[in-house]
Chain A
Amino acid sequence: MATARPGWSRRAQYGLFFSLLAVIAGIVVGLILLVTSMVAPQAFERIRGAALDITGPISGGLHEVTATAQGLVTGADDYWDAARQNGELKRERRAMLQRMVEAKAIVQENRELKDTLKLREQTHDAVATGRIVGSSFNSPRRFAIFSAGARDGVREGMPVRSPEGLVGRIIDVGQLASRILLVSDRTSIVPARLLRTGIAVIAQGRGDGTVEVRPLEVGRNPFKRGDIIISSGTGGLYPPLVPVARIVRLQDDGAIAIPLADPSETSFAVVEPAFEPAAAETPSDNSSAAP
């Protein structure tokens, strides 16, 4: 197709013309698929899952390699100043023991109080445990690749959390791996509240690793720097009382916060069943669904 006319050969001219038609057909098919995947993201669930089964294990394997290499380096580093670390750890241990006794007493007291209130705690067992092995590092969206899939019981819509806090929720599932919509993605909206005052807020991702927090009710800006945001469980997608983010900067009508569970630092993450299963089964709005 480089030249306008390949010569007098009819065959070459037709070949050129048909390759032009084929490219135009490619554009049309691509546009149709694009519109389909924007309007009805569920249409390509199967094929996206299959692709995850190819890339997920690759990411996982490479992740193991880099983690091992890092481990060797830090391991050697630890040997280097073992004596100083040893002293520090001993000091820390003594302090921790005291704190632990206090904590045990508090737990005991808590249990007694709950018994008197006849509160029953809903306990959720973890569906699957895995690692965050990759991410969408070349796209404006914020996704992460998770090393557990349908084989481990992971289903679409399930929330993912790490020991530090909420990571996000599952949007694509393959047999061996799955894709997480991170809390910091623009389409992720977490109903939450301020830990200090209990005011209901909404945490929406900003696409650059931070989240934007706004109070539900208009009024005075309730945030302070260093405030912790926890999930409220409203809507039923995310479980309540999971730490979400810490406020770092105030704005006119809200604040900017950094998710407590940094996906690049998180070693293990846990998939939990949807808090209210009905919420995950019917993806209510198009905007929060997969791309």
Chain B
Amino acid sequence: MVRAALSPPKRFGQGPSRYALFVPAVTVVIASLLSALPIVATSGWFPDFGFLALISWRLLRADPWPAWWAAPLGLVNDLFTGYPIGFSIALWSATMLVLDLIDRRTMWRDYWIEWMLAALLIAINGWLQWRVARAIGADLPFTMMVPQLLISICVFPFSAWLISRLDAWRLGRR
């Protein structure tokens, strides 16, 4: 990162985008809004786009947004997706905290470790959704969540790639 900052700019007038600070949060909100797509499905197999965007940003950088922003972003996700209000607020804040702790402990990071972390987080997200649905009265077998989990885990590398491109764009490092 330091090296990139020290190297002379390739072209003049190509600094970070003016709204660079807000781009990550806005992309998460847009990802949450994807649940307004006119898809009428009889099974809930699509990934939780908002959560995917959140962990993609957070795994890419330690500071995409001040950590407490996770709470309002979670509220937006709850409202747009129709989850019980408070679910994403608590889960997303906890995700930020857990990833900070993991950042302290891990010695090195590579694609596989990131993917494994993401898979773990996605699985926890799905399991908690299932638990909450059960507590409300939707007593489903957990096998119903498995297709969604697998699809989400397979989609994560694509989401991470997209977010890394967005990050390069917002910092003017194309």
Chain A interface (Cβ within 8 Å of chain B)? 1-4, 19-20, 22-27, 29-38, 41, 44, 47-48, 50-51, 54-56, 58-60, 62-63, 66, 132-145, 172, 179, 184-187, 206-209, 262-264, 286-288, 291
A2-B62, A138-B81 are known contacts. Are A263 and B40 too (CB-CB below 8 A)?
yes
- Collect the chain B residues with CB atoms within 8 Å of residue A262's CB: 42
Mark interface residues in B41-59 (1 if CB within 8 Å of A CB, else 0): 1111111110000000000
B36 touches A55 (CB 8 A): yes
Interface of chain B, main secondary structure: helix
Check if A138 sits within 8 Å of B33, measured CB to CB: no
B23 at the interface (CB under 8 A from A): no
Q: Are B71 and A137 in contact (CB under 8 A)?
A: no
Please determine whether B46 and A184 come into contact, CB atoms closer than 8 angstroms: no
The distance in angstroms between the C-alpha atoms of A55 and B33, with both chains bound, is 7
Tell whether A207 pairs with B70 under 8 Å between CB atoms, given A133-B38, A139-B82, A142-B42.
no
Check if A55 sits within 8 Å of B96, measured CB to CB.
no
Closest residue to A24 on the B side, CB-wise? B97
Known: A2-B62, A27-B94. A141 touches B44 (CB 8 A): yes
Residues of chain A within 8 A of B107, CB atoms compared: none
Across the interface, which residues of B come within 8 angstroms of A179, CB to CB? Answer: 82
State whether A134 and B87 are in contact (beta carbons under 8 Å apart), knowing that A139-B81, A141-B44, A187-B138 are contacts in the complex.
no
B91: Cβ under 8 A from any A Cβ = yes
For residue A207, which residues in chain B have a CB less than 8 angstroms away from its CB? Answer: 44, 138, 140, 144
Asked whether B104 lies within 8 Å of A44 as measured between CB atoms, the reply is no
CB-defined contacts of B33 to chain A, threshold 8 Å: 55, 58
Q: Out of A24, A34, A134, name the residue touching B132 (CB < 8 Å).
A: A34
Q: Which chain A positions have C-beta within 8 A of B133?
A: 139-141, 186, 291
Does B161 sit at the interface, judged by CB under 8 A? no
In the complex, the answer to whether B87 meets A286 with C-beta atoms within 8 Å is: no
CB-based closest 7 A-B pairs: A209-B42, A30-B90, A33-B86, A30-B89, A34-B86, A287-B137, A26-B71
B81 touching A186, Cβ below 8 Å: no
Indicate which residue in B36, B43, B66, B87 contacts A59 across the interface (CB closer than 8 Å).
B36
- Bits for B147-166, please: 1 = Cβ < 8 Å to A, else 0: 01000000000000000000
**Which residues of the other chain, B, contact A30 by a CB distance below 8 angstroms?**
71, 74, 86-93
- Selected from A22, A29, A134, A139, the residue in CB contact (under 8 A) with B39 is A134
Nearest to A67 among chain B residues (CB) is B38
Query: Could you jot down 23 A-B contacts, CB within 8 Å?
Result: A2-B104, A20-B67, A22-B66, A23-B70, A23-B93, A25-B68, A26-B68, A30-B92, A37-B84, A37-B86, A44-B85, A63-B38, A66-B38, A135-B41, A140-B140, A140-B145, A186-B140, A207-B140, A208-B43, A209-B42, A264-B42, A287-B137, A291-B82
Additional A-B contacts beyond A134-B39, A138-B35 (12; CB < 8 A)? A2-B63, A23-B70, A30-B89, A36-B86, A37-B86, A44-B85, A59-B36, A140-B138, A186-B140, A264-B42, A286-B137, A291-B82
Contact A291 B136 (CB under 8 A): yes
| B90 & A34 in contact (Cβ 8 Å cutoff) | yes
Nearest chain B CB to A116 CB, angstrom units: 45
Tell me if A31 and B81 are in contact (CB < 8 A): no
Known contacts A55-B33, A291-B136; is-contact A35 B85 (Cβ 8 Å): no
Q: Flag if B35 contacts A22 (CB, 8 Å).
A: no
Interfacial chain A residues near B89, Cβ < 8 Å: 26, 29-30, 33-34
With a CB–CB cut-off of 8 A, which chain B residues contact A32?
86
Q: Which residues from B are CB-within-8-Å of A140?
A: 44, 129-130, 133, 138, 140, 144-145, 148
The CA of A54 and the CA of B38, in the complex, are separated in Å by 14
Interface centre among B40, B45, B145 (most CB of A within 10 A): B40
CB atoms of A22 and B67 under 8 A apart: yes
Q: Are B85 and A208 in contact, CB atoms less than 8 angstroms apart?
A: no
Chain A residue numbers with a CB within 8 Å of B93 are 23-24, 26-27, 30
User: Using a CB-CB cutoff of 8 Å, which residues 88-113 of chain B contact chain A?
Assistant: 88-94, 96-97, 100, 103-104
Return chain A residues, CB-CB under 8 Å to B87. 30, 34
Q: With A62-B38, A63-B38 as given contacts, are A29 and B71 in contact (CB-CB < 8 Å)?
A: yes
Taken residue by residue from 111 to 124, chain B's Cβ proximity to chain A (1 for < 8 Å, 0 otherwise) reads as 00000000000000
